[in-house]
Amino acid sequence: MLIELALALILVKIVDELFIRKNQPAVIGEILIGIIFSIFNFLVPDTGIIGNYNFSLNLEVSHPAFQFFADTGIILLLFLSGMETNLEDLKKSGKSGLLTGALGVFTTFILVFLFAHFILHMKLQVGIVLATIFTATSVGVTVRTLMDLGILNTKVGNTILTAAVADDVFGIILITLVLSHGEIIEMAVGLSVFFLIIYFLGKFKIIDRVMNLADEYFHGPYGLVTFSLGLMFLFAYLAEISHIAMITGAFFAGLFIGQSAQERKIVNPIKVIAYSLFIPIFFVNVGTLVDIPMLKNFNPYLFAIIPIVFAGKIIGCAIGARTGGVNMKDALRIGVGMVPEMEVALVIVTLAYGKGIFGQPLGSQIMALKITYVIISSLTVPIMLKKLYRSREA
Q: Residue 267: pLDDT above 90?
A: yes
Q: Residue 270: pLDDT above 70?
A: yes
pLDDT at 143: 75
CATH for the stretch 64-389: 1.20.1530.20
Q: Which of 10-14, 93-97, 143-147 has the highest mean pLDDT?
A: 10-14
pLDDT at 265: 92
Q: Residue 308: pLDDT above 90?
A: yes
* Mean predicted lDDT score pLDDT of the chain: 88
Burial string for 153-167 (b: 16+ CB within 10 Å, else e) reads: eebbbbbbbbbbbbb
Please state the pTM of the whole predicted model. Answer: 0.84
The dihedral formed by the CA atoms of 111, 112, 118 and 119, expressed in degrees to the nearest 10: 110
Q: Residue 70: pLDDT above 60?
A: yes
